[in-house]
């Protein structure tokens, strides 16, 4: 049976990692990539950049499946804008899961989220829409992650935590059990979060505002 085609939106470094996962999952054929106008005609790992962001409506007339492969380093605004644009076009944003990840059958993942290599998503955890759960991250039991979040490489979110929408958790950060992090919060790499965080920017061990 012919695999459905998918369009990737964003052709930078994160896109390369996403391509690796999509190829390994082997559920979709990558039909092309959307990026900035100056890159149209280039390719990423052999896949053509076929259109720019302002041509999404035209591309959507031909293709039904899209995934946001633009990275999220601090501000998720562009990822959110692109996600909402695809939703408004009534197109599908599938969940992408690396076959090298462990995802509990008792967990939940919403549309447009990608689960990268080495991730562990344990029982009764939940990850919202349009999230990146990056390489080797751990999300423990009974933890909730909202929409448009990036749980970075090797981050550890322990059991019973609640991570609101639009949160960035940096690489190797540890969030202790039952902590709540409010929306639009940035937690820098290598931090240790031992108490609830209100909206803001944090870094350090223990994590403090900066």
Beta strand segments in 46-161, E: 47-52, 65-68, 96-97, 102-103, 108-109, 114-115, 120-121, 126-127, 132-133, 138-139, 144-145, 150-151, 156-157
Strand partners of residue 34: 9, 51
Into how many domains does the chain fold? 2
CATH number at residue 28: 3.40.50.20
Helices (runs of H) and strands (runs of E) counted in the chain: 3, 24
What is the C-alpha to C-alpha distance for residues 81 and 31, in angstroms, rounded to an integer?
22
109 shares its domain with 184 = yes
Of the residues 59, 88, 117, the one at which a domain ends: 88
Residue 176's pLDDT is 98
81 shares its domain with 101 = no
pLDDT per residue as tens, the chain (210 positions): 789 999 999 999 999 999 999 999 999 999 999 999 999 999 999 999 999 999 999 999 999 999 999 999 888 999 999 999 999 999 999 999 999 999 999 999 999 999 999 999 999 999 999 999 999 999 999 999 999 999 999 999 999 999 999 999 999 999 999 999 999 999 999 999 999 999 999 999 999 999
Residue 180's pLDDT is 98
84 shares its domain with 100 = no
Strand partners of residue 7: 32, 66
Of the residues 56, 88, 120, the one at which a domain ends: 88
Of the residues 39, 64, 88, the one at which a domain ends: 88
47 shares its domain with 124 = no
Residue 74's pLDDT is 80
Residue 209 placed within a domain: no
What is the C-alpha to C-alpha distance for residues 68 and 147, in angstroms, rounded to an integer?
13
Q: Pull the structure tokens for residue 171.
A: 């690489």
Residue 73's pLDDT is 82
How would you write 44-60 as a 3-class SS string? ECCEEEEEEHHHHHHHH
108 shares its domain with 132 = yes
How remote is the C-alpha of 13 from its chain's centroid?
13
What is the C-alpha to C-alpha distance for residues 191 and 183, in angstroms, rounded to an integer?
18
Residue 1's pLDDT is 77
CATH number at residue 165: 2.160.10.10
Instruction: Find out whether 134 and 116 touch, Cβ atoms under 8 Å.
Output: yes
What is the C-alpha to C-alpha distance for residues 137 and 170, in angstroms, rounded to an integer?
10
186 shares its domain with 100 = yes
Residue 45 placed within a domain: yes
**Strands 208-209 and 201-203, bridge-based pairing:** antiparallel
Residue 53 placed within a domain: yes
Q: Pull the structure tokens for residue 111.
A: 């549309």
What is the C-alpha to C-alpha distance for residues 17 and 115, in angstroms, rounded to an integer?
11
Residue 105's pLDDT is 98
Is the pTM above the cut of 0.85? yes
71 shares its domain with 123 = no
Instruction: Find out whether 154 and 170 touch, Cβ atoms under 8 Å.
Output: no
62 shares its domain with 117 = no
119 shares its domain with 180 = yes
- Judged by DSSP in three states, 12 sits in coil
Domain span holding position 189: 96-199
**φ and ψ at residue 110, rounded to 5 degrees:** -95, 170
């Amino acid at each position: 049976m012919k695999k459905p085609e998918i369009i990737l939106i964003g052709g930078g470094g994160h896109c390369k990692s996403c391509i690796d996962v999509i190829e390994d999952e082997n559920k979709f054929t990558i039909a092309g990539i959307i990026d900035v106008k100056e890159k149209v005609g280039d390719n990423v790992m052999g896949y053509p950049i076929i259109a720019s962001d302002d041509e999404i409506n035209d591309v959507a007339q031909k293709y039904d499946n899209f995934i946001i492969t633009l990275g999220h380093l601090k501000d998720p605004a562009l990822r959110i804008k692109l996600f909402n644009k695809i939703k408004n076009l009534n197109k599908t944003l599938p969940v992408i899961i690396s076959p090298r990840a462990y995802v509990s059958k008792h967990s939940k993942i919403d549309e447009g989220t990608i689960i990268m290599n080495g991730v562990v998503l344990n029982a009764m955890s939940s990850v919202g829409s349009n999230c990146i759960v990056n390489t080797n991250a751990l999300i423990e039991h009974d933890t909730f992650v909202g929409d448009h979040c990036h749980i970075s490489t090797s981050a550890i979110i322990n059991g019973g935590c609640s991570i609101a929408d639009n949160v960035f958790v940096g690489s190797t950060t540890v969030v202790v059990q039952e902590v709540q992090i409010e929306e639009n919060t940035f937690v820098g790499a290598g931090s240790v979060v031992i108490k609830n965080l209100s909206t803001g920017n944090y870094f350090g061990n223990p994590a403090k505002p900066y």
